[in-house]
Amino acid sequence: MFFIVEDDPAVADALESLLAGAGFSVRVFASAEDMIQQGAPSSEDTMIVDLGLPGMSGGELVRRLEKAGQNPKVIAISGKSSRTIARETEGLSHLKILRKPPSADWLEAITA
Amino acid sequence: MEPREDRRGGVSEARFESLLDTAADGIIVIDEAGRMLVFNKICEDLFGYTTEEVIGQSVNMIMPPEFATAHDEFMSNYHRTGEKRIIGIGREVSGRHRDGTVIPLELSIGEAKTSEGRQYIGVLRDLRPRRAVESRVSQLQAQVVHMTRLSAMDEMGAAMAHELNQPLTALLLYLQALARQIKVCHAEEKAPSEKLLGVLDKSVLEAERASHIVQRMRQMVEKRDPERSTIDLREVVNEALDLSEFVAQGATVTIRRVFGMNPIWVDADATQIQQIMLNLMRNALEVAKESEERWVKVSIGSDERSAVVSVTDSGTGFSEDVGKSLFKTFSTTKKSGMGLGLAISRAIAQNHGGDLLADPGGNGQGATFTLVLPMRRSMPAES
């Protein structure tokens, strides 16, 4: 199962189209808070999270899941500068980062 | 020189000569027939003739032909009617150098009644140095305006990049999804489904979203000559506030708009007015962000003569000292250089026949900046 946490509805919808079109099941959340409320992903799942979420940031969400012992595969997406991304993901080791806008096929990158 | 020496002599003549030659302006005396009686040193440099060459000659020889004809008419008209067109008033005229160069001149003329009839004393100043300075100043001003617009763009740049990223990301992902599904359709020899067309429509929307952002950005950054037109100040200010809100996204400052119901017509360059507003808003938002109540109030009003836009923030105002140096070009209370922006904003306002005023506030009151513009005299025809 794929969990998408992205506040921009178009980006979330496009990601969903891409994954659902390839036959995966997908859940979409507009904020970190929404996702926590509606059930967190397990280690079987993949969470695609925007780092620049309003409210709780993507980085915070990942830290929180780690603390709670939930370890889904994490793919962070961000449109910010590499320096900002480095700062926002400090201390988070096993996450893959995809930068917006995409420069390669994201389905391959996400499912790899 | 002969005629002059006939009339004058001794000490007063010597004094007169030295006065003429030390004068910083060109001095010419002509008689009723337009013949030159006096032509000082400055004039020699200005027109390229020596005094000897011009004395007794018609003053027309140092004018462009069209001025010479008009000058003859002016003089005979004046002699006939006594109607003064230039005497005692002064105006800008053109002179002509020996080599044909036309020289812009400021000319003032006095009249003297002498025993030999009327004489006219002309004092001329070469306007070229002033023109050069003026055009340099306006050139620099345009450059500085362009630069601040660019520096405002710099700040907007980050916000813009972020905004552009979203539609581009969505667009590319939609296209990736489409490409995959069309491949599947091909493999299975099926026609593309309605759903695919829906995704295609959505990707078009995202491309449009991106291009709107670029258009908005382009409107801000393009350097162009001031373009005056009759505008409703409310609309123009409103647009600038939308833009400020957009740039300050994430900052939780409330922008209160206190606008009336009726349009407020002014003749102005909409982009420049928006630039002033962006500047004022940038400063006000910065101050309001640090304040307790976090708001900026923008009100627009007018009376018969002027239209007024006031920007007040929820800060605590600034000290008298800061107030005094506020509009100096390089003074600023913060690193980003708001002094430059204010100085330019004021220059723009004054170019429009208006002004930009600051009320420092204090005692719990935030500062207020007020943009004043002259009202348009008559209403434009409703379209």
Count the Cβ atoms, other than its own, within 10 Å of residue A53: 23
Calculated CA dihedral for residues A24, A27, A30, A32, nearest 10 degrees: -110
pLDDT at B1: 45
- Nearest alpha-carbon partner for B257 in B287, B285, B295: B295
Count the Cβ atoms, other than its own, within 10 Å of residue A77: 26
Six token digits for residue B246: 């957009």
CB contact under 8 A, A107 and B176: yes
pLDDT at A32: 94
Contacts of B181 in chain A (CB under 8 A): 21
Of the pLDDT bands very low, low, confident and very high (cuts 50, 70, 90), residue B225 is low
Of the pLDDT bands very low, low, confident and very high (cuts 50, 70, 90), residue B224 is low
pLDDT at B374: 93
Task: State phi, psi for B41 to the nearest 5 degrees.
Answer: -60, -45
Of the pLDDT bands very low, low, confident and very high (cuts 50, 70, 90), residue B19 is confident
pLDDT in tens, A8-25: 999 999 999 999 989 999
Q: Which of B108-117, B214-223, B234-243 has the lowest mean pLDDT?
A: B214-223
In DSSP notation, A45-60 reads SEEEEETT-SSS-HHH
Query: H or E stretch including B292?
Result: none
Which is more confidently placed, B123 or B15? B123
pLDDT at B253 over 80: yes
Q: Which of A14-28, B193-207, B209-223 has the lowest mean pLDDT?
A: B209-223
pLDDT at B165 over 90: no
Which is more confidently placed, B318 or A34? A34
pLDDT at A98 over 60: yes
pLDDT at B155 over 60: no
What value does the mean pLDDT take over residues B161-182? 89
* Helices and strands per DSSP (H, E), number in chain B: 11, 12
pLDDT at B215: 76
Which of B160, B164, B173 is the mutation pick for testing A, counting most A CBs within 10 A?
A: B173
The percent of residues above 70 in pLDDT, for chain B, comes to: 81
DSSP state of B117: E
Contacts of B171 in chain A (CB under 8 A): 14, 101
**Nearest-CA distance from B312 to chain A in Å?**
28
Amino acid at B215: Q
pTM of the model: 0.45
pLDDT in tens, B107-137: 999 888 888 888 999 999 999 888 888 777 7
In sequence order, what are the residues at sequence separation of 6 or more whose Cβ sits closer than 8 angstroms to the Cβ of residue B40? B20, B21, B23, B26, B27, B28, B51
CB contact under 8 A, A101 and B180: no
**Residue B209: closest C-alpha in chain A:** A10
pLDDT at B287 over 60: yes
DSSP state of B365: B
pLDDT at B154: 60
Q: Are A11 and A59 in contact (CB under 8 A)?
A: no
Chain B residues 194-253 with CB within 8 Å of chain A: 199, 202-203, 205-206, 209, 250
Of the pLDDT bands very low, low, confident and very high (cuts 50, 70, 90), residue B214 is confident
Strands of chain B, DSSP E: 26-31, 36-39, 91-96, 102-114, 117-126, 229-232, 254-258, 265-268, 295-302, 306-313, 355-359, 368-374
Q: Is the CB of residue A100 less than 8 Å away from at least one CB of chain B?
A: yes
pLDDT at A60: 93
Pairwise CA distance, residues B323 & B210, whole Å: 42
Task: State phi, psi for B190 to the nearest 5 degrees.
Answer: -115, 155
> Which of B172, B177, B209 lies nearest to residue A21, judging by beta carbons?
B177
In sequence order, what are the residues at sequence separation of 6 or more whose Cβ sits closer than 8 angstroms to the Cβ of residue B140? none
Task: State phi, psi for A57 to the nearest 5 degrees.
Answer: -75, 165
Cα B218 versus chain centre, distance: 21
pLDDT at B100: 92
Q: Which of A27-36, B144-153, B326-335 has the lowest mean pLDDT?
A: B326-335
Which is more confidently placed, B101 or B272? B101
Under 8 Å CB pairs connecting chains A and B tally to: 70
Pairwise CA distance, residues A62 & A76, whole Å: 9
Query: Whole-number mean pLDDT of chain B?
Result: 82
Pairwise CA distance, residues A32 & A36, whole Å: 6
In sequence order, what are the residues at sequence separation of 6 or more whose Cβ sits closer than 8 angstroms to the Cβ of residue B211? none
Q: Are B341 and B268 in contact (CB under 8 A)?
A: no
* Helices and strands per DSSP (H, E), number in chain A: 5, 5
Query: H or E stretch including B86?
Result: none
Tokens 């910010």 — which residue?
A80
- Measured N-to-C along each axis, helices B194-221 and A9-21 cross at an angle, to the nearest 10 degrees, of 150
pLDDT at B332 over 70: no
pLDDT at B219: 64
Count the Cβ atoms, other than its own, within 10 Å of residue A60: 14
Pairwise CA distance, residues B213 & B20, whole Å: 66
- Nearest alpha-carbon partner for B207 in B175, B160, B243, B239: B175
pLDDT at B300: 95
B347 three-state secondary structure: helix
Contacts of A106 in chain B (CB under 8 A): 172-173, 176
